[in-house]
Amino acid sequence: MRITVLAGGVGAARFLRGLRAAAPEAQITVVGNTGDDITLFGLRVCPDLDTVMYTLGGGINPEQGWGRADESFLLRDELAAYGAGPSWFTLGDRDFATHIVRSQLLASGTPLSEATRLLCERWQPGLRLLPMTDDTVETHVTLAAEPPSGAPTVIHFQEWWVRLHAAVPAASIVPVGAERAVPAPGVLEAIADADFVLLPPSNPVVSIGPILAVPGIRDAVEAKTVVGVSGIIGGAPVRGMADACLTTIGVETSAAAVAEHYGPRLLAGWLVDDQDKAAADDPRCADIEVRALSLYMRDLDTTATIARAAIDLAQELS
Amino acid sequence: MRITVLAGGVGAARFLRGLRAAAPEAQITVVGNTGDDITLFGLRVCPDLDTVMYTLGGGINPEQGWGRADESFLLRDELAAYGAGPSWFTLGDRDFATHIVRSQLLASGTPLSEATRLLCERWQPGLRLLPMTDDTVETHVTLAAEPPSGAPTVIHFQEWWVRLHAAVPAASIVPVGAERAVPAPGVLEAIADADFVLLPPSNPVVSIGPILAVPGIRDAVEAKTVVGVSGIIGGAPVRGMADACLTTIGVETSAAAVAEHYGPRLLAGWLVDDQDKAAADDPRCADIEVRALSLYMRDLDTTATIARAAIDLAQELS
C-alpha cells in the first residue's frame, strides 16, 4: 500500500504516528509544508518538516508537540544577552544542531529535499519526508490593524503566529513565492503513484494551503482519491489557532465549512468528529463522503483508529 | 597612558588581565591574531579574539583558559549524531551563540572589526579589541610526514593543533592570505598612537607571527618601543606546543632564541624568567634589554607584577 500525506506540523505528525501504527506495511510519503520556514540568526528553520521528523523519529518533546525532548536553552539566553533577535521564536540547544546542519548543506548548494533526506538518515522516521518544494516559499500575513508595537503591515507568518498569537486580525495570508515554486523532486510522483492521498488534521490555510498552492500539486492531488481528517471539532480547532486563519479567508470554523473549502474536486472523503456528524447532511459537504468518529488523538491507539478509518474510507472510495 | 598589545589567545588573555590590573587607567588596545580563525559548521569561529573577549569580560572557563564557563555540549553531541564534522573541534552551547551572532553579522556585510566591537558591547572587556585584519587569513600547516589517517599534506592550523596535537612534524607554517590582507581599521593608528607596544607571552610563530605578517603592521610596530614577555621558560613553552612551531621555523625553544627571532629592530626589551636570566648575556640578545623575573602567571597578582615590569621597562626604554 502506498499512501501519500500532505502535512503541516504537530497535528500531522501525531496523525502520522497513528498512520504508521495502523499500516506498518504501507509505504508512506509525506509532502511537508515549507511555508512556515523562516531564517533566524542566519539559519534556515523548517518547523513543519522538523516536527514530522522529530515526532516520527522519537526525538520530539511529546508534551508540547514540537521541539526536542530533554531540551535546554542556553543558546537562546546567550543570543538574548547579545541582543540578537528575534526573541519571540525559541530554539532549543539540541534543535539548533538541526538548523546548523541544514543551513550548512543549503549553503553548499544542497537542495532542501536532499538536506531533509540527510537529516532523516539520523532520525529514521519510517517514512519518506519530502518538502513540498526546494524553492523558498514563506507565508506572509497582512495585518488588518496595526499592532501596538508598530510592526510592519506585512509580517512573516511565524511572527503573526508566535509573537502575536494570531490575535491581531489578518487581512490576508499569502504563501509568498508559491506561484513560482516547483514541486520538489519526487513529490508529483509520490502523489501519482499513491493508492490514495490523506490530509491529516492540519491547518487548511497555512499548512495544507501552501502545499496545494505550488503549481502542479493540486492537480496531481485532485487526480487521486483523497480523504481528509477534520482538524476542526465542534466549531473550534483542536489545537492552534486555525480559526483565525479560516476567518481571514472567509471560511467558517466548522468541519463542514472546511470540507466545502477543500471542495469535492479535491476531497472524496471527510472524517469528522462525532459531535460534527450533522456535516454528513450539510449541503456544503455534497459529493463528499462524510464519516463521523471520535477525532481526538489522545494517544497512539486512538490516533491509529482514526488513521485506520481514513485508510478504510479511502480504500472504499477508490 | 596608551598601550597597544599584539595578542594570541590564552596566554595573551591572562597577561591582559594582569595588565588591566597593573594599569587600570591605561587605554589598552589589543590587536588580535585571526590566523587561528576557522569556519566550522558554516559558522565563523575566531578563537583568539573570543578568548581575549571572554577572559577580560568574565565569561571564560578559568580552568581551561578558553571557552565559556558553565558550558554544556548538547549541540556538539547533536551535530555528532548527524555525522556532521569535524568532531575534533569542540564548541560549547554558550560559545555557539557568539559564532552564530558573528556569522550573521559577517553574512550581512559587517566587517569582522565591527562584528567584534558589537560582540564586545556585551562583554565590556575594558579594552579595545581589534582583529589584525578584516580580511581572511588562515594559518595553514604543511605536514612533514603523512599522518596515519592520511590527511591532506596541507591542513588548517587548528587541525594540526587540536586534532594532531602538533605531534606530526610540520614542514612549514604559513598565515595564508596575510600578504594580501589589510590591517583592520584602527590597527595602524592604535600602534602609532601608543606610548609603547607589548608582546604578551603568546606563540611567536602562530599568534604574533600572523599579526606581523599583515603588511604595514610590522613597520608600524618597529617604529615604537616594544617590550615582549617570553612564553618560553627554561627551554619549554609554559603552555601549548610553541616548541613544535619554533622547531618548524628553525628557531630553538629558548627565551634567547625567541628574542633573536623577533630581533632588535622589533624588540627593545625582553622579559625572561629568572631561570633564563643568562639570556641577558647571550649574544642573540645583543641590543635587546633583557630583564629577568618570575614569569609564571599563577594568579592575577603575579600576572599584574609581570605586566607592571613590562610597563616599567617600556617606559624606561622609550
How far off is chain A from B209, nearest CA to CA, in Å? 31
CATH architecture group of domain A2-37+125-135+180-317: 3-Layer(aba) Sandwich (3.40)
Q: Label residue B149 by pLDDT band (50, 70, 90).
A: low
Instruction: Tell me whether residues B96 and A75 touch, CB distance under 8 A.
Output: yes
B2-36+127-135+180-317 adopts what CATH topology?
A: Rossmann fold (3.40.50)
Which residue among A42, A97, A107 sits closest to B75, beta carbon to beta carbon?
A97
The reply to whether residue B84 touches residue A97, judged by beta carbons under 8 angstroms, is yes
pLDDT, one tens digit per residue, over B65-101 is 999 999 999 999 999 999 998 999 999 999 999 999 9
Peptide bond into A283 cis (omega under 30): no
Size of interface A-B (CB pairs under 8 A): 84
Give yes or no for a contact between B3 and B28, defined as CB atoms under 8 angstroms apart. Answer: yes
CB distance A205 to A33 below 8 Å = no
* CA distance to B177, B182, B206, B241, per residue, from B202 (Å): 21, 22, 9, 11
pLDDT above 80 for B15? yes
Write down the pLDDT at residue B144.
80
Per-residue cell: B248: 618548524
Report the chain B residue with the minimal C-alpha distance to residue A86.
B101
Mean pLDDT (chain B, rounded)? 96
pLDDT at B147 over 70: no
Per domain, the residue ranges of chain A are 2-37+125-135+180-317
Residue A146: per-residue pLDDT = 66
What is the tens place of the pLDDT at every residue in B225-277? 999 999 999 999 998 899 999 999 999 999 999 999 999 999 999 999 999 99
| Chain CA centroid to CA A5, Å | 10
Does pLDDT of B16 surpass 80? yes
Which residues in chain A come in under a pLDDT of 70? 145-152
Contact B82 A97 (CB under 8 A): yes
Residue B23 has pLDDT above 70, yes or no: yes
What are B264-312's pLDDT values in tens digits?
999 999 999 999 999 999 999 999 999 999 999 999 999 999 999 999 9
Q: How much is the pLDDT for A144?
A: 80
Interface test with A, best of B41, B61, B75 (most A CBs within 10 A): B75
Contacts of A43 in chain B (CB under 8 A): 100
Q: Do residues A33 and A10 make contact, with C-beta atoms less than 8 angstroms apart?
A: no
Integer Rg of chain B from CA: 19
Q: To the nearest whole angstrom, how far is the Cα of B44 from the nearest Cα of chain A? A: 12
Instruction: For residue A179, give the C-alpha cell.
Output: 506561484
Cβ–Cβ of A101/B79 closer than 8 Å? yes
Q: Which ipTM score applies to this complex?
A: 0.91
A69 contact residues in B (CB cutoff 8 A): none
pLDDT at residue B151 is higher than 60? no
List the single residue in B82, B93, B98 with the smallest CB-CB distance to A93. Answer: B93
Residue B58's pLDDT is what? 97
Write out the residues of chain B at the interface with chain A, using a CB-CB cutoff of 8 A: 41-43, 72, 74-75, 78-79, 81-84, 93-94, 96-98, 100-101, 103-104, 107, 118-119, 121-122
**Averaged pLDDT for residues B181-209:** 98
Bridge-based pairing state of the strands B2-7 and A236-237: unpaired
Say what the pLDDT of residue A153 is: 85
